[in-house]
Structure 1
Amino acid sequence: MFTCCPRRAGAPPGSGPMEPGQLARRGLNIVLISRDPSKLEHEAKEIERLYGRSTRVIQADFTGGLEIYEPIEAGLKDLEIGILVNNVAKQYADNLGKLLDFEDTAQKLSDIINCNMMSVVQMTRIVLPQMVTRRKGIIINISSIVDRNPFPFIAMYGATKAFVRSFSASLKAEYSSEGVLVQTVSPFIVETNMTLAMKNRFLVVNAHDFARQALDTLGLTSYTPGCLRHALQGLLLAIFLPSWFCCSREGVKLLSLFANWSREQSLPRRTR
């Protein structure tokens, strides 16, 4: 039985919200899909060394269009995929900002849509038929806490994650009677290469701990923040930063200050 993990390219082992090492630790073989073959091979070897599980890598850039999915489908053809983890996502840049604040806007918007939305749908299309045939399978779609409400300064990212949440809920309704479990995981901030310099602080959960806790919720709930700390953070966010306030003039001013702070945080990283 294999777990298929489309994921961010260039991330070291254990750096994604649903890190594949936790799945390998639970006895599953792993298929990693991303755009950098050398880094994929390195991670695959680490998984084999640490957990003794079989691995396979497939190169694909999820910002591409339909043309990338035929090779993926061919690479998975002979495998029995028990769990699909849609764990790939992209933001405008390292920092927050308005829709038109970044260079090459047209390409960036297209990349975000392909990476964050089309990848979830197309990978589901590829893997779901064999799960239905077996009447058994799990699909885990990684969303974000911002899938709940509109969120200025990450407009496209939040909108794509709202799509992931809605798609997952509908997919669950359609296929739960055929033995397919669909879960949406909507974390707050996990320690990954998308979280700037915000590492090991109160708001940030270590990727290893997050994946372990999130996997423990499988079969218990179809929608989860992934861990207790993020559940509490989500509750506080809903109380102190409700949707109506986020989109109000005062809320936008507050979020603008946070966006400016995030840009300052990312400057040291870009100059290293």
Structure 2
Amino acid sequence: MKTALITGASSGIGKAFAEELAQRNYNLVIVARSESALIQLAEKLQSQYQINVTVIVQDLTLPHGSQNIFNKVKFLDISVDLLINNAGFGDYGKFGDRILQKQLDMIQVNISALVELTHLFLEEMKQRKNGEIINVSSIAGYQPLPYLSVYAATKAFVLSFSEALWAEYKDYGIKVLALCPGPTQSNFPTVAEFPDSSSFDDNNKNSLTTPEEVVKNALVGLEKQQPNIVTGGIGNQIIVNIGRFFPREFILQGVEKQFRQKQKKE
């Protein structure tokens, strides 16, 4: 029986990955900061699917967080077949107006923890000549986003990093996928502190992709050994390809205007 390790597993896309993989008879290692949410999810999945679910409570903003996860997995003698680096968050507003520590924490979680976990588990996958890694990027990784500047930059890193690993390790039997969702039903706008989350509220749920849809598409892309996959409708495909047809300055001006409208009046 295969084992998947999922960070950010307590809600959203991470939780959807856990539920889908449990249905596919994977044992799970689920990681997040919320112990109660993880325990509740573990009990539900173990009861429903008769699988083993290991809970690791870890704050990935801490520099040693990734090593702690790896050490716990090794102590329990668990072999990870599928690593899903899903943990991440954003922060909305003008960069200079936002709290610096939150930006640094974002870089730590979205980039540093992801890179470290990938490095730690990749060596064993290489030795086995088998393994799978899904790194959750975003359509935000395809272009700079004013008012989400650090977030978009971290997701651009994840996209570039993951595609490079896809090329480096495909001959070792290792699949690496950059998952790039568009707007998805989640608590992202709340954590990012959008002052106007009307585009994400219950009245607009039909325009957002569900986490379950994102996960199913991701697993199809992984099976097909694609380097990346953009989930959601045709609109997301247009967004990630628009840079091929228009100057970057033109795109930046349009995006800035769109996101500026969400700000509170100064």
Whether the TM-score (by the shorter chain) exceeds 0.5 is yes
In the TM superposition, what is the alpha-carbon distance from 1:18 to its structure 2 partner?
Answer: 5.2
Structure 1 counterpart of 2:56: 58
Pairwise mapping of residues 232-247 of structure 1 onto structure 2 (< 5 A)? Answer: 232-237=234-239, 238-239=241-242, 243-247=248-252
Deviation at 1:82, TM superposition (A): 0.7
- Kindly state the Cα deviation for residue 195 of structure 1 after the two structures are TM-superposed: 4.1
Residue 4 (structure 2) aligns with = 3
1:1-272 to structure 2, matched below 5 A, reads: 1-7=2-8, 11=11, 15-16=13-14, 19-65=17-63, 67-77=64-74, 78-92=77-91, 96-102=92-98, 105-196=99-190, 197-199=200-202, 201-220=205-224, 221-227=226-232, 229=233, 232-237=234-239, 238-239=241-242, 243-248=248-253, 251-257=255-261, 259-260=262-263
Q: TM-score, normalised by structure 1?
A: 0.83
- Change beyond 3 A, Cα 1:30–1:124: same
Deviations 1:189-217 (A, max 9, x none): 11111145434534301112321232122
Distance change in 2, residues 1:251/1:205 (3 Å): closer
CA distance in 2, matches of 1:18, 1:167: 24
CA positional deviation for 1:108: 0.7
5+ residue gaps, structure 1: 265-272
Instruction: Note the aligned Cα RMSD (angstroms).
Output: 2.3
CA distance in 1, matches of 2:255, 2:139: 18
User: Post-superposition shift, 1:71?
Assistant: 2.2
Deviation (angstroms), 1:100: 2.2
CA contact 1:17–1:210 (8 Å) conserved in 2: no
Partners of 1:195 and 1:208 lie apart in 2 by: 18
**TM-score scaled by length of structure 2:** 0.85
| SS class of match (2:188) | coil
Decide which structure has greater helix share.
2
- The runs of 5 or more residues in structure 2 that have no matched partner are 191-199
Instruction: Specify the SS of the correspondent of 1:23.
Output: helix
Q: CA deviation at 1:251?
A: 4.5
The number of residues matched between the two structures is: 248
Q: Which amino acid aligns with 2:65?
A: I
Give, in angstroms, the shift of residue 114 of structure 1.
0.5
- SS of the residue 1:24 aligns to: helix
SS in 1 for 2:6: strand
Q: What is the match of residue 270 of structure 1?
A: none
CA offsets 1:35-72 (integer angstroms, 9 cap, x no match): 1222211111122123222100111101111x223321
The change in CA–CA distance for 1:207 and 1:118 in structure 2 (over 3 A counts) is: same
Shift, 1:73, TM fit: 1.6
Is the Cα–Cα contact under 8 Å of residues 135 and 178 in structure 2 kept in the other structure? yes
State the distance in 2 between where 1:50 and 1:151 align: 41
Task: Mark the CA change 1:214 to 1:123 in structure 2 (over 3 Å): closer, same or farther.
Answer: same
In structure 2, give the amino acid aligned to 1:205.
T
Residue 245 (structure 1) shift: 2.5
Cα distance between partner residues in 1 of 2:13 and 2:257: 32
What is aligned with 1:269? none
* 3-state secondary structure, aligned to 1:100: helix
Separation (CA, whole Å) in 2 of partners of 1:253 and 1:34: 35
* Local SS of the residue matching 1:91: coil
Give the distance between the partners of 2:176 and 2:13, measured in 1 at CA.
23
Give CA deviations for 1:85-144 in whole Å, capped at 9, x if unaligned.
Answer: 00010112xxx3111233xx2211110010100111111112111111110000000100
Using the TM superposition, give the Cα deviation of residue 171 of structure 1 relative to its aligned residue in structure 2, in angstroms: 1.2
